[in-house]
Amino acid sequence: MHPILIKNADVYAPEHLGTRDIFIAGGKIVAMAEKLDVTLPDLEVIDAAGYIVAPGLVDQHIHITGGGGEGGWHSRCPELVFSELVKAGVTTFLGVSGTDSMTRSVENLLAKVRGLKNEGASGWMWTSNYAYPVTTITKDVRTDMLAIPEVLGVKIALGDHRSSFPNQHEIMQILADVRVSGMLTGKTGFLHVHLGDFAYSFDIFDECVAQGMPIKHIRPTHVARHPEVFRRACEFAKKGGFIDITTGGGNYMGSAADAVRAALAADVPFDRITLSSDGHGSMPRFNEAGEMVGLGIGSIMCDIETIRELKDELGIEKALTPMTKTVAGALGLETKGGIAVGKDADLLFLTKDFDIDWVFMMGKVAMRQGEVVMKGAFEE
């Protein structure tokens, strides 16, 4: 890995820092100043004049091994390939499983996380899927958290007809496991909750908090797919919780940007809002009889599209924040989500139209002037 000096970068960290030079070595941002002079024999100098330089995006909900299956064998979504991350500007991801806990194993999810990391991305995962009792690799939540560095917590589904309908006591037990194992491992520990259309999930969350569980461990996602669920999610965020809006579709009020606007209109603190794609997850449509009548697939390109939609009214800093600084901080990923000395060198060069032209993953060029130059093992 050769060192890189980026000149004349208009840096949004996501805070606007103005024009800076950035020196990258060993996968890290080593120095940043208004002007840097570096002389090394294998140094690459890249002129970023005319670009907005932003942190790489952090997407905490991607079905990297493919979601779906609700319509039978043929409806299983395909796996994600590495170049999709590059094209979308997603330099850090969390892999998730979904409805299919029978043919999509958690072991396979871990293998895919490690494969994508080997190819150049930064990755973690949620153990388990929709089911209760939870499905883990070591047969124990605490041991998964302790023994597997990539595991940051547990995923489960609540308030969805595809869930196992666990009760409050069972959810509290899972939260206790992730909390204690988080204490022991320094990971914090989270329960990442797929929300369906039934808002009683928030009654369970409220009772868990009332019984002493810190709200920081409860992380609901897909919060904008039903009006009453969204209303309760906004209340949850105003109590100090984080809420995650899906960029990949299904939000009842329109786009993910519309959901952000609605949350802000409901006085949700902006620093409690995160975004994720639900990439490669299925987008099934069910009729009143519970029969699937249509099926789509989530795209991780929706992340940058949502940021693009928000930037004109919120400004570039705020538009970038939910998928950089906020989510990285919420997950305890201290070296991600920002541009500063000591941070990982995960960077995007964006045009004025917010098209992605350059991508850096851990200090390596993954996209150069719109061309993907880092690809997966089986990509041409």
What are the distances in angstroms from CA 209 to CA 107, 158, 213? Answer: 31, 17, 5
**Strands, E assignment, 13-71:** 16-25, 28-33, 44-47, 52-55, 57-62
Q: How many contiguous H segments (helices) and E segments (strands) does the chain have?
A: 10, 19
The answer to whether 190 and 217 are in contact (CB under 8 A) is yes
Grouping H, G, I as helix, E, B as strand and the rest as coil, residue 285 is strand
The answer to whether 138 and 130 are in contact (CB under 8 A) is no
- Which candidate in 278, 303, 344, 346 is catalytic? 278
The answer to whether 188 and 332 are in contact (CB under 8 A) is yes
Report d(CA 96, CA 60) in Å as an integer.
8
Q: What are phi and psi of 15, to 5 degrees?
A: -65, 145
The answer to whether 348 and 53 are in contact (CB under 8 A) is yes
Report d(CA 32, CA 26) in Å as an integer.
15
Say which residues have a Cβ less than 8 Å from residue 288's Cβ, sequence separation at least 6: none
**How many Cβ atoms from other residues are within 10 Å of residue 288's Cβ?**
5
Q: Is the peptide bond before 14 cis (omega within 30 degrees of 0)?
A: yes
The answer to whether 160 and 136 are in contact (CB under 8 A) is no
Say which residues have a Cβ less than 8 Å from residue 52's Cβ, sequence separation at least 6: 10, 12, 316, 349, 350, 351, 352, 354
The answer to whether 93 and 337 are in contact (CB under 8 A) is no
Concerning whether 278 is annotated as a catalytic residue, the answer is yes
Tokens, residue 380: 């041409």
Amino acid at 18: G
| The pairing of beta strand 57-62 with beta strand 292-297 | unpaired
Residue matched to tokens 């409806």:
75
Q: What is the set of active-site residues?
A: 278
